[in-house]
Structure 1
Amino acid sequence: MKSFIEEVLESLFRNENFNLSETVFILPSKRAGSFLKETIKSKTTSSLFAPEVVSTEEFIEDVAQLQPIDNTQSLFKFYQTYLKLTPKEEQEDFETFYGWAQTLIYDFNEIDRYLIDANHFFAYLSRIQDINHWSLADPQTELVTNYLRFWNRLPEFYQHYQNKLVENKEAYQGLMYRLASEQIEKHLKSTNKNYVLLGFNALNNAEQKLFQTILDNNRGQIFWDIDKYLYDDQFHEASLFIREYAKSWNYYQEQKTFQHLPSHYSEKKNIEVIGIPKNIGQAKQTAEILSKLTKEQLNKTAVVLNDEGLLIPLLNSLPENIEKANITMGLPLKETPLAALFEVIFELQLQQDQNYYYKQIVEILNHPAVLSQLGSNSKKIQEKIHEENWVYLSKEQLFSLGSSVEKILNPIITKYQSPRELLQAFINFIQQLRPEKASEKPLETEYLFHFHQLFVKLQNLLAENHPIKTIKALQRVYRDSLTTEQLDFSGSPFDGLQIMGMLESRVLDFENVIITSVNEGVLPAGKSTNSFITFDLKKEYGLPTYKEKDAIYTYHFYHLLQRAKNVHILYNTEPSGLNSGEKSRFITQLEIESPEHNQPKFKFFNPYVPANKEQLKKIEKSPEVLEKLKTLAAHGFSPSALTTYIRNPLDFYKNYVLNIRDMEEVEETVAANTLGTVVHDTLEHFYKPFEKKQIVKEDLIKMKTQIEKQVKFEFEKTYKQAPINKGKNLIIFEIAKRYIFNFLERELKEVDTNELIIKEVENKLTCEISIPELDFPINIGGKVDRVDYLNNQLRIVDYKTGKVESRDLKLNEWSELSGDYKYAKAFQVLCYSRMIFEETKFEHAEAGIISFKNLKSGFMPFIHLKNSTIDKDTLKQFETELKSLILEIFNPKIPFEEKEV
């Protein structure tokens, strides 16, 4: 395969009058220039002075003799113009200005690149705004008046802004192009060099004027990289621009025509279209294709990534046969781990509260860059946050664990009002994060260096002019700057695998091409509304619309196919998410328009997902497990442990045998069990002094006056440092107060006509269960919420903050008690009854539940076949079921088997 560059050089060398040393080659990109130099080196056999090889931007800078400025600098400088020309009472702050100025700068750029008469254009635009906003209406609102005044000022803004830049020998891209097109004649007279223009496609008006001037003055040649098949098709978008130049340029109206266009596109090709879900799928499939290529084939292979988010997955998936890989697209700084860290720090700075939300602190502490500096201190702080339930931390709490923590985190934890101070803090923070041995962590060091550069750049911008007054405005500028900064990779551009973006592929040719993310919205990118200029106005003035932009993507796509022999086109089939699901129209075009011998072959891949058949787990009882069970039995099985076994034996094994508990998390919102603890502890505090005493109205009335104070105390004890004075926690705090108030109100009605004596409150009890089949002691134990006498009737009371219905305590068959979890509440109160019986040997009692969510039902007793009395017979029947359950737990032949949910 002969590349386009080789074909051009052969054509030039055939001309005996061609002087290579006196030639300037102009190409669309620097990368293409590197390939041109390498090809010249391989084609020449004698010593000579190398020609000058420049990109379009470099050539235009040379002609215009101005210093280019980037988008961020443009905005800062335009803000000075805005302040100067806008009355003080109408001026907006920089943050508001920043929102619309970016779009306006983009439009200025387009107007200049296409050499539009700005005064005429802006007059036309302001008249459109007049019509759109009913400017003829009488009277006009102040909002409409100010809006129209802004549009009428645009020519003045534009002119003043340009004059200021030119005075300082600076220019944004569009202005540079406009001035270069005006000075090209003068520039040509100042040099005797000839120019070779090659590989261009879509030219703006300024570029067209520059190139036509060179050609009309007989000072150069132009070579278009287009295939005859695509050029001859009058409707094909790939040749849209070049066909237009052939019709409209004077250079082609005389005798110079498009002759001897190559016909590589019609040659036999292997084109494969692969649909595969997600970026990871595309990365893995690309690696699979690459793994089958030889070293020689890899030297002629390019992987073109249309989605920059695919770069990291691809690099992590490259097969072992790839010895060299040259990455030309660069890794965007926003994709690096440090970008996430600084985003969290910005959010921390923007919080109004002086304390810090724990999740953001934990995120900072867990970041690899911070973790490598803090080591074990990071874990200690997080453990302390969980232990103390710090939802919001003060600086003192955070730095209480050592000076190293303060040294690292203080620069970013301190709240700043001034953007300059924050930028300096970021720079200091980066210094703290530097690895001791940079050579051991080259990538991390490179990340830090680039972020340091970015913050210094923003610092310098603020030093020149200081429009950024708030941290929020700084964050916005930082985010936009981050999208344009990238981490460049080093590698050999002439051998090994080439990994690039679509634009880097201009002028270059490869035998094997893999193009990824060929989806609508990615390739082509689709419509963009980032402009104040309407579609019809763009058409009127010859500015590019989305149609022309789609044609640019079409050219790049088909250019990659032009000389390639093996083409693999990958697209994302996943229907969810952005930029996914629908394959690009280019794939459909290939299917319909390609020559018969080049018809694409379609493949679809889906990751193999084996059928995940749910199998219930079983844990056999080893001797060690049985020993652990004996220890638990000696200590005493709690009613909740036994009901856990009834619900799911595997949970019993995990929670009580292995002692695995749910991981302690910071409790931001009061959990149900915390609410229950607070209510129980409050009632214990109220009723404990009345053990073995009668409760009267005055006692309960006094308790009611203490609800607020006691509930608050219990929350602070149980819920520790978390706030209860706002949000959901405040609601739950009020619910706890209401629960206790309603309960005491109910108690007041109870004692009005009845005698209530408190026997005991929250007492821990145990009792031994005699099981002859087991030769070791079996105990059950637990804490009984309350035992009282109501009109001499012994009652065993269990409080529940959740909702319990009376039907939950009704039992028909004793066998259901140990086999069905829905009778867990009945099982628990019977356990408490058995423990109380051990202590008091009562004749008859009632055992039941008071549900705070169902207080209207009052005390709900356990009922067996309409009988609520618990006596010796009842306890004997219960004990039979209890012994059966415990024997099952200790039976080595019955494993802990998971129950279906």
Structure 2
Amino acid sequence: MKTFLDELADDLITRHENLGDLCVVFQNRRACLFFKLALQRTLAQSSWMPDVYAIEDFNQAVSGIHEADPMLALFELYACYGDAGGNDSFELFAPWGEMLLKDFNDIDHDLADAPSLFGSLDKAKAMERWNPGGEDVTPFQDQFINFWSLLAAMYESLQRKLQDKHQSLAGRIAREVAENIDEYLARHSWKKIIFAGFNALTAAEEKLFKKLVKDKRAEIFWDTDEYYLNHELQEAGHSIRRYAKAWIPSDWKFRSERLIKDSKNVDIIGAAKKAVQAKVAGNIIREWLEEGKSPISIAVVLADESLLLPLLYSMPESVKSVNISMGLSLRSTPLYDLIMNIFQMHASSEERNRSGQSYYYLDILRLLAHPFIQNLFKDRSLIRACKSKILKENIVFLDPDNLEELEPIRFLLFQWKNTDHSISTFKELVQKLSVGADMSVFELEMLTEFGNIVNRLKMLTSAYKLDLGVKGFQNLLTGALSATRLSFSGEPLEGIQIMGVLETRSLDFENLIVVSANENILPSAKVNHSLIPFDIRKGFGLSTYLDKDAIYAYNFYRLLQRAVSIRLIYDTEPNELGEGEQSRFITQLLHEWPAINPNVRLNQRLVTLPAESASSPAHPRYVINVNKDEAILATLDRYFEKGVSPSALNKFITCSLQFYFRYVANLFPPDEVEETIEPDIFGNAVHAVLAELYEPYRGQTLSAGAIDTMIEKVEKCVLKAFTHQLHEGSLDFGKNRLLVDVGVNIIKDFLHNEKERVQTAPVSVLELEKTFSRLITVSANGREKNIHLNGKLDRVEKFGDLIRIVDYKTGQPKDNLNVDDFKKLETVQDQSMERQVLFYAYVLAGEMQLAAMESGVYFFREIRKGFRPLIVSKNTRVELGALMEFENLLKSVLGKLVDPETPFEQTADRALCQRCDYARICMRDQVSPEI
């Protein structure tokens, strides 16, 4: 395949004896590099090479003016703002200051009349603030109004300040070159300037090109196709059609018909989520390499550059070399995550603390989990000890002075004093990681770039005597990190090429993959990052999102011109805005291309996770069955001696594999710091309060006076119980305060009901929070075991002449506790509460030799409904017959546990997996996508 750069090299070599007399200018630096390589391939003998520039480098070279560093420009603009009478802090100024710099750049790139534009903008804002009602203007409104009148002065002042440093914004340099090109070119000996591969020109570029072409000092080599040039509605040809009508000849070179006549093999692939898109791209590359395609002929274009790392992880093992022209933004590195963690930690601390310094435990744990921070600990056991202490003592907000284990990172745990202090801390972080930690070459490169940014900020804040403020410092630092890219060195003519859309300009590849070809990505969303309204931008000739869309369209279609095998991959997964739409460029291709070019083969397909199907052996799902070997049987024997609880019984019935994980393998859910009153904490606290209130009356008959005494103690007992549960968690505000009040109210409501009840019949408290036990003998498959059944009863009382088991429930009430069929209890998951209260009745009957009793629940969410007894076959009493039925059920269920031939298996009810603590281990529905 002959590329645009190959054709350009052929033409220049053919028509120019001395290439050294030429200057060749492209839109971007990547094209410059590839063009030099094309010349080297084409030249038959040694020759002087032309000067080759990207357009912005060309402007700087001919003018001698250097482009200002973005940080320096922002600091200078803030100084101009102060000189013009602005008084906002840098923290407030920086976000719109960066936007204003872009607007100033656009004004100069497009040769707009700056004073007139700012005057129109001020008048437009004056119309917006017209106040016929005569209402008073607030100080904030007045400040906003005055801001627009400062812009013209700020624009002129910034140009002067930067000019004094022999620097300027890129737009201003382009304007200078366009308006003074004769003067600047007099310093150079080029006989001809070649502008190659351009499309949508800025006004400054258009003026420059027209002037030099008219003077026969320049030639322009466009790269176009009749497919989009001949269609007035095709946005890809929008700019060049306009130039063709106005000032360029109609017979320009490289005006092809490739999109109309050449054979193309195009697959349009929808894939859900980024990871699957990357996997699809990796598999396509593998297939192409197996077919014998050369790696250098393959390019992957990432419309969404955040897919770089997923793509690299998805590369087939056969790929030995890749060339990543786009670089990796520091924003996509672990270092960025660490810096954000540090900012988050201090922001949370500042928000909470007005004096002293403490840190939110999750921020500390997140910091300790970062691999860079772990490298600072020579003794990693300190990290484990710190985590253990936080979890064990339930520390929500911690004082670093009370944790000796944090000594290696104590330099990060500082109060925000000023910007200098923050910068010094980050410099110390870079120094410690670079010298004392085990870092890879790539990680050291990250740190070097970060250190350069921090040093730059230090120099600027010192020179301009500015304290940026916490948010201002963070915004500036993160913006610089996002703009800084780590280059991946590599031989450009070796390996697969990976690049962003802008890097593809003037480049061609025979085999092309475009990833994230979605609307609002390709082209990008219609967001106007400008302080200048759309109508004023358009009126003064500044570029708008319409121009950007046309540029995206040209870059996309031009990339297809010489490609033969094309794969366009888009994300079908809706995002938070409900978008999962293919790019409109794809839609255009589907509707227009086959009708114009009969040699195009267009295919569409979706890559999806396979639907759940028992008849799909090609996509097996993870199934775990644990057979009972001798070790497991021995563990079960020890467990039987300790005792089976009703919750364990329910786990075994609903999912025997979950039972295995918890009670046989002893896999416990991870400990967590409880910072708010969660349902389990709330329930435990209510149980503890009631036990404390009733304890003095154990063995006594309750009176109304005793209940009144309890009511007086409720609030104190509730605070004590919740404080014990949360330790250092505050109960004075927010959700916790509300739930404390709820706890007080529901317990008081319960006690008022109790007061009424004790006046209708004598109530004696027999036991509180006591564990009762009963032995049961179970046989299965020749194996007989004695199993202890243990039940911790909230309360046992005598109500009139009847023994009653009382269970407290603070969760969701159940309308009826009803058992009609004991067989259902053996399998039905939603009868776990009935099994529990029957279990209590069974163990208590065995210990107290009872033939009948009541067993039921108080639902605190419906406390006015009183005690809700279990109803067995329409009888509110649990009598001997029901207990014998339940014993048979226990022997049947526990027999499966005893049986050495019955494995532990996954539940049949997949809904239970959604809230299972062991879902990550089980992974029952995890499959590999079909690509």
Normalised by the size of structure 1, how large is the TM-score? 0.88
* Distance verdict in 2 for CA 1:5–1:384, change over 3 Å: same
* Distance verdict in 2 for CA 1:442–1:695, change over 3 Å: same
Partner Cα separation in structure 2 for residue 816 and residue 651 of structure 1: 20
Partner Cα separation in structure 2 for residue 234 and residue 789 of structure 1: 92
Is 2:96 the counterpart of 1:100? yes
* Match of residue 703, structure 1, among 710, 725, 735: 710
**Structure 2 match to 1:221:** 219
* Match of residue 199, structure 2, among 186, 198, 201: 201
* Match of residue 335, structure 2, among 335, 338, 344: 338
Partner Cα separation in structure 1 for residue 3 and residue 824 of structure 2: 84
**Structure 2 match to 1:72:** 71
Secondary structure of 1:299's aligned partner: helix
Deviation at 1:284, TM superposition (A): 3.0
* Distance verdict in 2 for CA 1:81–1:679, change over 3 Å: same
Is 2:215 the counterpart of 1:211? no
Secondary structure of 1:493's aligned partner: coil
**Structure 1 match to 2:617:** none
* Distance verdict in 2 for CA 1:711–1:217, change over 3 Å: same
Deviation at 1:77, TM superposition (A): 1.1
Partner Cα separation in structure 1 for residue 3 and residue 823 of structure 2: 86
**Structure 1 match to 2:410:** 410
Counterpart code for 1:186? E
Of residues 227-236 and 99-108 in structure 1, the stretch that sits farther from structure 2 once superposed is 227-236
Deviation at 1:170, TM superposition (A): 1.8
Secondary structure of 1:730's aligned partner: helix
* Distance verdict in 2 for CA 1:257–1:431, change over 3 Å: same
* Distance verdict in 2 for CA 1:74–1:779, change over 3 Å: same
Of residues 830-839 and 124-133 in structure 1, the stretch that sits farther from structure 2 once superposed is 830-839
Secondary structure of 2:82's aligned partner: helix
Partner Cα separation in structure 2 for residue 230 and residue 846 of structure 1: 85
User: How do 1:828-847 residues align onto structure 2 when only pairs under 5 Å count?
Assistant: 828-837=836-845, 840-841=848-849, 845-847=853-855
| Percent identity (aligned) | 31
Deviation at 1:445, TM superposition (A): 2.0
> For 1:787-840, what per-residue CA distance to the aligned partner results, in whole angstroms no more than 9, with x for missing partners?
3444565444333334656841x5556666666566655554555455555555
Partner Cα separation in structure 1 for residue 153 and residue 497 of structure 2: 48
Mark the structure with the bigger radius of gyration: 1
**Structure 2 match to 1:428:** 428
Normalised by the size of structure 2, how large is the TM-score? 0.85
**Structure 2 match to 1:442:** 441
Deviation at 1:523, TM superposition (A): 2.5
* Distance verdict in 2 for CA 1:584–1:849, change over 3 Å: closer
* Match of residue 179, structure 1, among 176, 180, 183: 176
**Structure 2 match to 1:263:** 256
Deviation at 1:47, TM superposition (A): 4.9
The answer to whether the 8 A contact 1:349-1:471 is kept is no
Counterpart code for 1:740? I
The answer to whether the 8 A contact 2:851-2:880 is kept is yes
Counterpart code for 2:127? I
> For 1:1-54, what per-residue CA distance to the aligned partner results, in whole angstroms no more than 9, with x for missing partners?
4433343344344446x5333333333222222233333334445555443222
**Structure 2 match to 1:548:** 547
* Distance verdict in 2 for CA 1:23–1:655, change over 3 Å: closer
Partner Cα separation in structure 2 for residue 72 and residue 314 of structure 1: 32
The answer to whether the 8 A contact 1:326-1:492 is kept is yes
Counterpart code for 2:394? N
User: How do 1:470-549 residues align onto structure 2 when only pairs under 5 Å count?
Assistant: 470-549=469-548
* Match of residue 393, structure 2, among 388, 412, 417: 388
**Structure 1 match to 2:239:** 241
The answer to whether the 8 A contact 1:135-1:144 is kept is no
Counterpart code for 1:365? L
Deviation at 1:472, TM superposition (A): 1.3
**Structure 2 match to 1:84:** 83
Counterpart code for 1:749? E
Question: Over aligned residues, Cα RMSD in angstroms?
Answer: 3.6
> For 1:175-215, what per-residue CA distance to the aligned partner results, in whole angstroms no more than 9, with x for missing partners?
11222223322122333332322312222222233333434
**Structure 2 match to 1:355:** 358
Is 2:744 the counterpart of 1:744? no
Mind listing any 5+ residue stretches in structure 2 that lack a counterpart? 615-620, 910-931
Secondary structure of 1:531's aligned partner: coil
Counterpart code for 1:349? H
Partner Cα separation in structure 2 for residue 189 and residue 445 of structure 1: 45
Counterpart code for 1:288? N
Partner Cα separation in structure 1 for residue 521 and residue 632 of structure 2: 59
Is 2:782 the counterpart of 1:781? no
User: How do 1:704-853 residues align onto structure 2 when only pairs under 5 Å count?
Assistant: 704-752=711-759, 754-769=761-776, 777-791=786-800, 793-802=802-811, 807-808=816-817, 810-811=818-819, 825=833, 827-837=835-845, 840-841=848-849, 845-853=853-861
The answer to whether the 8 A contact 2:261-2:597 is kept is no
Secondary structure of 1:853's aligned partner: helix
Deviation at 1:490, TM superposition (A): 0.4
Of residues 123-132 and 73-82 in structure 1, the stretch that sits farther from structure 2 once superposed is 123-132
Deviation at 1:762, TM superposition (A): 3.0
Deviation at 1:272, TM superposition (A): 0.7
The answer to whether the 8 A contact 1:325-1:499 is kept is yes
Deviation at 1:173, TM superposition (A): 1.2
Deviation at 1:486, TM superposition (A): 0.9
Counterpart code for 2:310? P
**Structure 1 match to 2:313:** 316
Of residues 736-745 and 483-492 in structure 1, the stretch that sits farther from structure 2 once superposed is 736-745
Partner Cα separation in structure 2 for residue 814 and residue 520 of structure 1: 59
Alignment: residue pair count: 885
Partner Cα separation in structure 1 for residue 867 and residue 232 of structure 2: 89
The answer to whether the 8 A contact 1:76-1:467 is kept is no
**Structure 2 match to 1:326:** 323
Secondary structure of 1:611's aligned partner: coil
The answer to whether the 8 A contact 2:20-2:49 is kept is yes
Deviation at 1:617, TM superposition (A): 7.4
Deviation at 1:616, TM superposition (A): 9.5
Partner Cα separation in structure 1 for residue 443 and residue 724 of structure 2: 44
Counterpart code for 1:70? D
* Distance verdict in 2 for CA 1:768–1:427, change over 3 Å: same
Of residues 421-430 and 238-247 in structure 1, the stretch that sits farther from structure 2 once superposed is 238-247
Secondary structure of 2:861's aligned partner: coil
The answer to whether the 8 A contact 2:213-2:219 is kept is yes
Secondary structure of 1:197's aligned partner: strand
Is 2:898 the counterpart of 1:890? yes
Partner Cα separation in structure 1 for residue 253 and residue 714 of structure 2: 96
Deviation at 1:219, TM superposition (A): 3.3
> For 1:272-320, what per-residue CA distance to the aligned partner results, in whole angstroms no more than 9, with x for missing partners?
1322214334333333333324777333333322221222222222234
> For 1:257-277, what per-residue CA distance to the aligned partner results, in whole angstroms no more than 9, with x for missing partners?
635545362552324132221
* Distance verdict in 2 for CA 1:400–1:707, change over 3 Å: farther
Deviation at 1:125, TM superposition (A): 2.8
**Structure 1 match to 2:913:** none
Partner Cα separation in structure 2 for residue 51 and residue 60 of structure 1: 16
* Match of residue 364, structure 1, among 344, 363, 367: 367
* Distance verdict in 2 for CA 1:216–1:378, change over 3 Å: same
Is 2:109 the counterpart of 1:120? no
**Structure 1 match to 2:919:** none
Deviation at 1:751, TM superposition (A): 4.2
Counterpart code for 1:306? A
Of residues 110-119 and 737-746 in structure 1, the stretch that sits farther from structure 2 once superposed is 737-746
* Match of residue 400, structure 1, among 404, 415, 427: 404
Is 2:318 the counterpart of 1:301? no
The answer to whether the 8 A contact 2:376-2:436 is kept is no
Mind listing any 5+ residue stretches in structure 1 that lack a counterpart? none
Secondary structure of 2:25's aligned partner: strand
* Distance verdict in 2 for CA 1:651–1:169, change over 3 Å: closer
Secondary structure of 2:427's aligned partner: helix
* Distance verdict in 2 for CA 1:610–1:443, change over 3 Å: farther
> For 1:135-176, what per-residue CA distance to the aligned partner results, in whole angstroms no more than 9, with x for missing partners?
777678457665444333332222222222212222111111
**Structure 1 match to 2:922:** none
Of residues 890-899 and 414-423 in structure 1, the stretch that sits farther from structure 2 once superposed is 890-899
* Distance verdict in 2 for CA 1:185–1:618, change over 3 Å: closer
Secondary structure of 2:130's aligned partner: coil
Secondary structure of 1:54's aligned partner: strand
